[in-house]
Structure 1
Amino acid sequence: MSDSDSDTEPDVQIEEDSNAGLHPLFWDAIPDGAEQDPNWQALEALKNESTLEERAENFKVQGNRKLKTGLEVNNKHILREAVDFYSNWRKCLEDGLIAQKLDSDNVKAYFRAAKAALELGQFKLCREQCEKGQAKDSKALQFSSILKSAQERESIELQKKTAEELRKMAHLAPFQKLADAILSRGIKVCLPQVRLEDRYHPTLDEAGHLQWPVMIMYPEAMQQDSIECFHEEDTVAAQMDEMFGPDTPPLSWDSKGEYTRDRVELYYLSYAGRPLDREQLILAVQGKWPDGSADSGPQRYGQKAAMWRQVDQQMSLLQLLTCEDYVVPGIPLLFAIAKGTEYKKRFLSQGMK
C-alpha cells in the first residue's frame, strides 16, 4: 500500500460565492474584486454622478429609515417589558392576597402584597396591606419602608397629574374663550355641510372681534370660493365689492358673463342643523366635530324646515350670523346665484320663504 493510499486527506470544503450570478444590487456583501464587475462599475459611475447635496439627502433618507426601524423595535421591546413587569407584580399581588386567606397570620403574605401593590401604583391597597402586616407583627420594619416609598411615589404621581391637568386647561383655554365668544353673540353653530380643512375655523383677534372664514358656493357651476378672513363688523356688500369689483378678473368658468357685481345674489339655508351645545362647540373649534345623528342636519318639514333665504348684503357678517333662522354649518356657507337666469328659478324652486 502506498503512502498516498494510507494517509487520509482532510476534506476541503470550498465556500460557494453566494453572490455568484447576481446583479450587484442584490449582493449580500461587497466581494473581493467587485471593481472588476461591469455592473458594479456602472452603479459606481451613477453614484458618482450625483451631487454632494443629492448624496447627503440620500444618506439622510436611509438614516431616517434605519432610525425609524430602530425606534419601532425599541418601543416593542419596552412595551413587552412593561407587560411582563405588570403581569409579574399582578401575579405576586394575587398570590399574597390568596395566602392571607389561607393563613391570616402570614406576615410574608402581607409584605408581598404590599410590595406588589406599591410597584403597581395601587397606593391605597399598599397602605392597607402595610397596616395589616404591622398589626400582625409590630416589629416588622420593612412595612415602614414600603409605606414611606408609597407616600413619596403617590406625591410624585399627584404632582404629575396636577401638572397634566394644568397643561390640558392651558391648552383648552383659548378654545373655550372662542366658543364662549361665539355663544355670547347668539351665534348658533351646527355640523358642517361640506368637508372642512383644519385651517377653516373662526378666530378671535386681540380686540376680541370674531373673524370667520366664509365659503362661497356657485351651485350652477359646481364651483366654490372662500373668504379667508371675514371680520364680523364688515358688511357683506363690502366683501362682494372686492370679489366682483371692476378691477377683478371675471370668473374663469363664467363664459356668459352673468356673475357680475350687480347681478350676484347670495342665499343661505335656514335652520341648517341642530345647534351644538357648549361642550360640543369647544371640541368643534379644535376640529373635533361630534358625530352626527339622523336629526342633526336640516329638516324638510315643521316650523324649522330648511329654506333658502336671500342675504341682505347691507348687513354686517355678525348681523347675518345672528339671524334667528341662521345656524352656521361649521363655517358661514353662502350660495351665489346670478339673478335673471333660468338657473335661479330652478334653484329657488327647491324652497324659499
Structure 2
Amino acid sequence: MDSQGEDDDTMDQFMEKFKTQKYEGAFNEDNWEEEFDKIPMFMKKAPQEIDPEKAPELACLQSILFDEDRPLEEQAESFKDEGNEYFKEKNYEKAVASYTEGIKKKCKDVELNAILYTNRAAAQFYLGNYRSALNDAIAARKQKPDHLKAVIRGALCCVEIKNYREALKWCEEGLKINPTEKKLIETRTKADRLQRAAERDARKSKLAEKKKQSKKDSLLNALKDRGIKLHQQAAGEDEEETSEFSYDGISSENATGSQVFLDESGRLHWPVLFLYPEHMQTDFISAFPEDSRFIDHLNAMFNEDYPPWDTDRKYFAPNLEVYFEDEETQSFYQVNPERTLLEAMQHRRFRVKAGSPSFLIFVKQSSFYKKYFTDRKVYKLT
C-alpha cells in the first residue's frame, strides 16, 4: 500500500473515533446561550464587578480599554462608551459613574467633554436629579456653547424644577442654534403654558391671602373694640399696656374645625363649649351669636327632651345656672342666663382660651352643686 493510502486509512480511523467521543466542555443545546454570554465578545451585558480570576479575558480587555498610559482623550472616550452602554441598559447610576470618570480625565477635546457632561446630565435627569442634571447641562455649554443636546437637556430640567422663565430662555437660545428643533419648540410651548398658569395661580393666591389678612384684621379690630381678652394675655394686665393682640389666640381650631367669625353685619359668632361637671359631659355650639342670650340656647337644648345622661331629669332651662372660671384666681363667676354672650365675655375677668369661650352648667342647689362650690370662690355678675 502506498503512503497516500496509509494516510487515508489513518484519517478514516480518526474520524470514526471522533464520532464516538464527545469534546469535553463542549456546548450543548441546553446551555449554549449561557456559555456564549460568558465570552467577552458575545456578552450582552457587562457584569457589575469583574473578578480577574473568574473572568481573566474580561479583566484583560478592561485593562486594555482603561490603560492609564493611553492618551487622555482615548481614556475619556472609553469611559463615554462604557457610560453609553450602561445608559442603554437603563443603569443610570453606573452611567453617571462612567461619565464622571471620563470627565475627570480633563482631556483637551471640548467636543468630547461637552458630550460627557450632556450624557451625564441625561442620566441624572432619569434618576430624578434635575438640579444636578441642569448643572451638567450648564457645564456642557461652557465647553461648547452651541451644543444643542445640552441646551435641550437644560430646558427640560428647568421645566421639571418649575423654573419656567429659565426654561423659556434656554429654548430661545436653542432655537437660535436650530430654529426647527422639534423638542425645543414643544418644550417652549409647554413652559409658556405652565408659566402663565403659575402666574395666574400666584395672583389668585395673593388675592386670597390679602382677603384672609383683611378678615384677620377686621376680626382683631372687632375683638379690641369689644374689649374681649384672650387667655394668652397676663391676668390683671391693663388693656392699655397690651401692645400686641395676636390672632393666634383665637385661631386655634377645635375638633370640629370651628372658629370665631365676623358676619357681614359685623356680628361675632363664637364656637362655645358648655360643660356639665356633674356628669362629665359637654355640648358644643359651633356658632353662638354674640348678641344672643344664654337662656335662649338653654331653652332650645333642654325643653321636652332630656339628654340620655340626665337620668334624674333635672336638666331643664329654668333649673340651670351658668358660670365661667377665672383660672388665674381659681374663682367662678355666675352669669345671669338673661345676659348675652357678649356681656359675659366683656367681664374684666373673662378670658377666651384656645379660641372657644367655655361655660359650666349646674343644676340649682343640687347636692353636687353644693359640694362643688364648698371651697371655691363664687361671684355673681351684676
TM-score with structure 1 setting the length: 0.47
Highest CA radius of gyration, 1 or 2?
2
Kindly indicate whether structure 1 or structure 2 has the higher relative contact order, using CA contacts under 8 Å at least 6 residues apart: 1
TM-score with structure 2 setting the length: 0.44
